[in-house]
Amino acid sequence: MAENVWILGIHMTKFGKHPDKDTVDLATEAAMGALNDAGVQMKDMGILAAGSLMGAGLGMGQSIQKQIGQTGIPVYNVANACATGATALRTAVMSVKAGESDYGLAVGVEKLAGAGLLAGGARKSDENVFTPSGRYGAVAPVDGRIGTETMPGVFAQIGMEYLHEHEYGGEQFELFARISEKNHAHSTLNPLAAYTKKMSLEEIMGDVMIAYPNTRPMCSANCDGAAAAVVVSDSVLKKLSKEQQSRAVKIAASILTTDPWEEACQVLPNVNTLTRNAAKQAYEQAGVGPEDLDLVELHDCFATAELVHYDNLGLCEPGGATDFFESGATWRDGKTPVNVSGGLESKGHPIAATGIANVWEICHHLRGEAGDRQIEGAKVGLAHVIGLGSACGVHILEKAA
Amino acid sequence: MAKQIPLVDYLVLGDAPHLVAHECASCGARFFDRRNACASCSGTKFKSVDVPTEGELKAYTIVSFAAPGVPVPFVAGVIDCGGTSVRANVINTDPDPEHVKLGMKVRLATNVVGTDDEGTEAIGFGFEPY
Ligand SMILES: [Zn+2]
């Protein structure tokens, strides 16, 4: 039986605009913050896993080492779309679990402030003489002609598909806008969020439409930020101080899945099945069920995505996501608070940092250090991310006994 | 009449325009792109099958912000054509939620996407309500 792995230290930077810092500045701030929080040093680390999606291929891990300690340890530079941070964390966890390292450091960083719409890319002018090319033998760009490749549009369809499969009597646009209203309300208590302004339903619905039913505040906010975590093995933790032991958070489950083939999955990405599979494996590994969760941070890259993940993570009855939301269960005073950080819609979504920042939020509550937004008595929490393509990371975290 | 070429190779033009899919000979999984093998069963034999031209809209969005050069607004969606899901725009209707409804019946229609220097027209497709 492999050892349990614990989060010993974890840190996230303020999300938002950091015009005077580059990705290495942000990554080192997070990494040094996590080491400091853990009470250990770079020379103790046996592995470093790092992700920076926009800078993939540039060796973010080695760049971090060159600022804070070139100790010669193995570096894994990972990329898995929006699940990059969770993948870095899982890589460090695997190394410790395998007994190859006593301590591991995982870092995710991104600079996106001011970045426009993600994906799709500029359409090139049409060719002078039509010549079929690519896997669909296309003679001209297909984005906008055969569906959409924009993220807000893809995830809008994912939310609408849910309402088609599970009939909803209410107003569709308003339903999704109310999910966004919740997350923006939650963000007012999070000083590290990129946007902390409460927004009324009217303001959300009246804002710029990006891809119906997602208006601008219903989309994840492009911003800069980094997050990092130090993980440690059970046996090493036992030799550390009482304070370190009491603040350590148990990684009760660390799961990564990809999307299994099913009809339509190459037509519209299916973010459901891989999340369901990850959740099922995570609950089994942790020995807990959705009813045991005191809080959940899930991947609300768009308001339309949050709805489907209530169902995918088993937080509600199958097919019952709309009723579940309308019961108030996912507000911070509800049965299963979801995205009390403000979620990606207000906290922000610096892609590779997100998968560790979500874990940071859960740890903060389990340690009882979340200040004004503390979920009282939180003992178990779940962090979920989806990277389109697709990859899903789920971590279940438990307060130290 | 101008010479025509389909926007993508899985659109067949002529008197009865329709889409064709690569169907895995072992498991029946269908794909529209060039295949190396089957994502469902890893089989390597495929046959070409016609996809029904009528279907039901099972998901959609109305895109108002797109990459530079893409005209907006437009309706993007997924159509269930007798069990085969197809990605397409919903065309020949107003792009608003009053005219586009989940579950509505739609059928394949073609449109001219552009003309090249030799006068060849590229023909695309979408699905229109009926
Ligand atoms: Zn097959």
Query: Mean pLDDT over residues A32-49, rounded?
Result: 98
**Under an 8 A CB cutoff, do A125 and B69 touch?**
yes
The token pair at A40 is 């250990």
Q: Is residue A209 part of a domain?
A: no
Give the whole-angstrom CA distance, residue A252 versus residue A193. 27
Q: Is residue A304 part of a domain?
A: yes
Going by C-alpha positions, the residue among A326, A283, A281, A284 that lies closest to residue A307 is A326
Domain count, chain A: 1
Asked if B104 contacts A160 with a C-beta cutoff of 8 angstroms, the reply is no
pLDDT for residue A270: 95
Residues B11-29: tens digit of each pLDDT? 999 999 999 999 999 999 9
Going by C-alpha positions, the residue among A232, A291, A275, A299 that lies closest to residue A41 is A232
Nearest chain B residue to A162 by CA: give it.
B59
Q: Is residue A377 part of a domain?
A: yes
Name the more confident of A118 and A285.
A285
CA diameter of chain B: 45
Cα separations in angstroms, A389 against A266, A268, B42, B107: 10, 10, 19, 29
Cis peptide before A341 (omega within 30 of 0): no
Enclosing H/E stretch for A252: strand A249-258
Residue A259 predicted with pLDDT over 90: yes
Domain B4-129 part of CATH 2.40.50 = yes
Amino acid B18 reads H
Residues A134-174: tens digit of each pLDDT? 999 999 999 999 999 999 999 999 999 999 999 999 999 99
Going by C-alpha positions, the residue among A115, A135, A86, A386 that lies closest to residue A254 is A86
Residue A121 predicted with pLDDT over 60: no
Query: Mean pLDDT over residues B27-35, rounded?
Result: 97
Q: Does B59 touch chain A (CB under 8 A)?
A: yes
Percent of chain A past pLDDT 70, that is, above it, reads: 97
DSSP A224: B
Q: Which of A130, A144, A267 sits opposite B71 (nearest CB)?
A: A144
For residue B89, the CA-to-ligand 1 centroid distance in Å is 28
Residues B73-116: tens digit of each pLDDT? 999 999 999 999 999 999 999 999 999 999 999 999 999 999 99
Give the whole-angstrom CA distance, residue A273 versus residue A312. 7
Q: Which of B85, B97, B116 sits opposite A263 (nearest CB)?
A: B85
Percent of chain A past pLDDT 90, that is, above it, reads: 93
**Which pLDDT band, with edges at 50, 70 and 90, does A97 fall under?**
very high
Q: Is residue A295 part of a domain?
A: yes
For residue B30, the CA-to-ligand 1 centroid distance in Å is 8
- A331 CA to chain B: closest CA distance, Å? 27
Q: Is residue A259 part of a domain?
A: yes
Q: Which of A137, A213, A268 sits opposite B9 (nearest CB)?
A: A137
**Under an 8 A CB cutoff, do A129 and B118 touch?**
yes
Rounded to the nearest integer, the mean pLDDT of chain B is: 96
Query: Mean pLDDT over residues B38-54, rounded?
Result: 98
Domain that holds residue A249: 5-114+221-399
pLDDT for residue A123: 55
Q: Is residue A147 part of a domain?
A: no
CB pairs under 8 A between A and B: 173
pLDDT for residue A119: 52
The token pair at A35 is 């080491």
Rounded to the nearest integer, the mean pLDDT of chain A is: 95
Going by C-alpha positions, the residue among A310, A295, A286, A287 that lies closest to residue A378 is A295
Bridge-based pairing of strands B4-6 and B121-129 is: parallel
Q: What is the DSSP string of A316-377?
A: SSTT-HHHHHHTTTTSTTSSS-B-TT-HHHHT---HHHHHHHHHHHHHHHHTT--GGG--TT
Q: Is residue A363 part of a domain?
A: yes
Asked if B27 contacts B38 with a C-beta cutoff of 8 angstroms, the reply is yes
Query: Mean pLDDT over residues B120-130, rounded?
Result: 97
pLDDT for residue A347: 97
Check A18, A82, A219, A365 and give the catalytic one: A82
